[in-house]
Chain A
């Protein structure tokens, strides 16, 4: 028998967990992927190849050479042309599977407009690179009843948690405050297997949810380190908080109000953007100096730390306030902030 396009999903339909009925459900589903860097590339490729009905990717960044080692939707040409990731990804995804409705949106998703993108989605896959975005996502998920799947990776390690509104602990039950931590892919490096493993945990759960096999969901938080050869699965249901501001009885969705996020301001005429965390910090600048030394020239005294990297100079104050010199663009400044401060 000669195979044709109709056989595209035959192996997935033959798999007992999905079957033809599951495949049909998947083909009617809409999945939103926030971020299309390393995780987003892996997630989007799997969902498009698997035959989800609609796959939307959103990203604010452009393709750079340092992305190519792990961001598997992008080519050297994309990096040469510094194409927006969402554009390059959508092109590649559409050529992989023309029957999926693929959408690439170039945007810096903020609390003000996230609902525009999440509305109507059956599932949201997290491929962001910061907890500010994840907490907004966690709130909108709880408010609008859309499940989401957290994924994060740095170095050789990764973590994932499936959050289904009304069931189990949400991310806010597990993490109650946001503070800059300083370990990101730009500071700790990352290897491709950590990306692929994290994405595999996320997409396996996505296939279960979208093919109507909710009973098969994992029900634990998983964490692994492929270099240290560790793997743990933690039952987090006991940490579900009755008073959680996101999923508890008297919930207020605090991350959907602007006051809980870093505030950004352009300092007029100075080619500088200021970013102020929601709560004042007491940072040890000497420790931050050591962390950031690999990424540029660092100078500090007890009042301020300065990092020169590329065209930018970044000043960090002990209260967590950051000045990004060399740009008037808040999106660029926020991207740099998340790159170095998590």
Chain B
């Protein structure tokens, strides 16, 4: 499945991945993140049942802390 993740064409190996699955993978794990899918912000309580679909535009916004 291909999605547009932070503006980049990205292939997800598993079909039917949820937002929660995406966040527990790779570099996003344990980060402070805000999620937007197709222009709509997704609340934390919806991560586990928000499934990603082919062509979705996903923005993962990282709350960076430096100052």
Chain B interface mostly: loop
A183: interface (CB < 8 Å)? yes
Interface residues on B, range: 10 to 19
CB closest residue in chain B, given A188: B66
Q: Distance (Å) between the CB of B24 and the closest chain A CB?
A: 13
B36 touches A232 (CB 8 A): yes
Q: Does A153 contact B63, Cβ atoms closer than 8 Å?
A: no
A153 touches which of B31, B40, B43, B64 (Cβ 8 Å): B64
B49 at interface by CB-CB < 8 Å: no
Query: Is B53's beta carbon under 8 Å from chain A?
Result: no
Evaluate contact between A230 and B7: CB separation under 8 angstroms: yes
Max chain B Cβ within 10 angstroms of own Cβ: one of A38, A127, A158, A174: A174
Q: Per DSSP, are chain A's interface residues mostly helix, strand or loop, or mixed?
A: mixed
Residue of B nearest to A187 (CB): B66
Say whether B7 contacts A175, CB under 8 Å: no
> In the bound complex, what is the Cα–Cα distance between A126 and B32 (angstroms)?
18
Question: How many Å lie between the Cα of A176 and that of B36 in the bound state?
Answer: 17
Q: Which residues of B contact A (CB under 8 A)?
A: 6-7, 30-32, 34, 36, 40-41, 43-44, 59, 61-67
Using a CB–CB cutoff of 8 Å, the interface residues on chain A facing chain B are 35, 37-40, 126-131, 134, 151-155, 157-159, 174-176, 179, 181, 183-185, 188, 190, 221, 223, 228, 230, 232, 234-236, 238-239, 342
- Can you give 6 A-B contacts (C-beta < 8 A)? A129-B65, A129-B66, A134-B65, A153-B64, A176-B44, A184-B66
